Amino acid sequence: MDATEFPLLEGLPLPSRDEMERAFLRGDASYDGVFYTAVRTTGIFCRPSCSAKKPKVDNIEFFGTAKAVLFAGYRACLKCRPLDGGDDHPPWLAPLMTRIESAPGDRIREADLKTMGIDPARVRRYFASRYGLTFQAYCRAKRLAQALDSIKHGRTVDDAVFDAGYQSHSGFREAFAKTFGTTPGDAAQSGAVHLGWIDTPLGPMIAGASDEGIVLLEFTDRRMLEAQLATVRRRFGTALVPAEHGHLTRLRSELEAYFAGTLTTFTCPVIAPGTPFEERVWEQLLRIPYGETRSYQDVAVALGNRAAVRAVGRANGLNRIAIVIPCHRVVNKSGELGGYGGGLWRKRRLLHLEKSMRQSGTLPDQAGLGRRHHHG
């Protein structure tokens, strides 16, 4: 999903010029799709992550949409290709993922990548930056996830060994136990958190789902992401593996509708265990109506403890399911935005989207209070 595909996002305010300058000068790919940088002296516009030599900041201006920058007379950069998705969706990715999904038991080595016309070094960089895994670790986790699913659905361990592409039972059992913390024979009683990646107009997100519901939704560039993944692993006592799940499919659909302005209340089940206080705070977040905000003090008062403002702020920051549990709707008492793990510019745009829809008077029927979630 690109921001330009969602008309409701076109009127959103851009981040501050200082913030955009910093993002452009350091080539921050997390801002791709948020704004475009146009260079007056060359007449060319780029995505923030463009690796071309950086011009003087006095010679650049920023635009929120490709339509606006083209209308201003600028030409698209041939290096970063801001109009066709560039490295966000490199052309070699689709056939590679199709091969992985169609035959997860196959081992794809560097020689295989070269035969497909794909540079192995580029594959390594892409998977490390997007998934936080090496390419081989990603493929191994996919194989083991398939094996776990096969065993849970009644297939034998021998079948799982073959399906997962392992040459020996011992190698399979060792890899399986290391990933899932259990033996293949006990796998029918074990589970895993399935991880998927979701493109949104505000940048890619990583989502996690158990069989009970969504357990994680974070922007991939959040500084606390590694800690949040560790918390999910500890809370659920299971491995995290890249694999599709029905809850992830449903979440993708609902997020797309949310950004399009046709959904105001998420219905996908949410599982968010925490401390008793954290769970009470997250429950209050779900009670904040779409298009409205509450202060940290408002939340503390609703919990019956006016002095718990700092604790509320901390619990708000530890929310692991962004947007669905709307921590972006909590602001300072003064009206200033306060903090946000995904970046204040994202918080600003989320609030602007919701407020604009609410003021338009065209909210869908499901507008109103968020539904309750399960703590697990």
User: Are 69 and 56 contacting, i.e. CB atoms less than 8 angstroms apart?
Assistant: no
327 annotated active-site: yes
How far is Cα 116 from Cα 201, in angstroms, rounded to an integer? 31
How far is Cα 135 from Cα 108, in angstroms, rounded to an integer? 9
Instruction: Give me the count of residues in the chain.
Output: 376
How far is Cα 83 from Cα 81, in angstroms, rounded to an integer? 6
Side-chain-facing half-sphere of 373: CA atoms under 13 Å: 33
Q: Comparing C-alpha atoms, which of 42, 33, 36, 43 is closest to residue 73?
A: 43
The two tokens of residue 163 are 């399906």
**CA gyration radius for the chain?**
22
Q: What are phi and psi of 56, to 5 degrees?
A: -65, 140
- Provide the strand spans (E) within 40-175: 44-46, 60-63, 75-76
How far is Cα 183 from Cα 173, in angstroms, rounded to an integer? 7
Q: Chain centroid to CA 138: how far?
A: 17
Catalytic residues: 327
